[in-house]
Amino acid sequence: MTGENFFVTSDWMAEHLGDPGLSIIDASWYLPAQGRDARAEYDAAHIPGAVFFDQDLIVEPESDLPHTLPSPDDFARHVGSMGVAADDLIVVYDGPGLFSAPRVWWMFRIMGARNVRLLEGGMDGWTSEGRPVTAEPTKIAPNYFRTDFDAARVAMLADMRDIVATGAAQVADARPPARFAGLDPEPRPGVRGGHMPGAANVPALSLAREGRLRPAEELRAAFEDAGVDLARPVVTSCGSGVTAAVLTLALETLGHTDNRLYDGSWTEWGGRQDTPVISGDEPS
């Protein structure tokens, strides 16, 4: 079982800069501990023609959770103002390559874009190869983004309660092992450590090497070694719904399409007092 190749190379990108119908999206976002400022880095140097996708701004404004998926209308308004149309060839990148960009890749896809790719190696790889960058603001002509929202690819709290209770789907958690086990504290205050009963730990960072997804056989082994049956439905989760999309990307690359992403992720589940949590040496 093998899926689609969702990447473009830096060679391809360099050859196609300026092509009509090509939208380049800088989707960089970082945790405070990473010590990087995504917007400042974009303003200082970005791929020519790229626009900045602010993952703290393009969210559901009424939600108290981080990175909550916006409504289709709000998403269309934001990305349309960035000059992006649903039938564009959309290439998304971030700094290290496979950290925050897959979340925006996933968002565009579930909102109706059909041709969304990721830049291999990210911006760090691009600059290390001496590729062109600019600090000049990208000239934007507002566009119309026609949405076709696929709600079936998003899992909400009620879905997760049912999944945890019945085992109707598998939960693959992308957080680092120590956070999954509840040994390291969560970065957001008030959020308990640990994981959902029955969840499997597939750390997002284990699926990539130098900003590129690992070969298919290694991806398959990572899921299977964690106890994930690739013949069954999977829901991906993480801290706030960002790196869960790395797992979604890996699943889709393997041809696994019966998957959803838990949008509230651990910030929602672990931030409540009425949800079951496994931590430390407790059995899952």
Catalytic site residues?
Answer: 238
Q: How far is CA 73 from CA 60, 76, 77, 79, in A?
A: 11, 5, 6, 10
DSSP 8-state assignment for residue 186? P
Task: Check: CB of residue 8 under 8 Å from CB of residue 93.
Answer: no
| Closest among 149, 17, 5, 147 to 87, alpha carbons compared | 147
CA distance 189 to 167: 29
Rounded to whole angstroms, the Cα distance separating 61 from 71 reads 10
User: How far from chain centre, in Å, is Cα 93?
Assistant: 11
Q: What residue type is 176 in one-letter code?
A: P
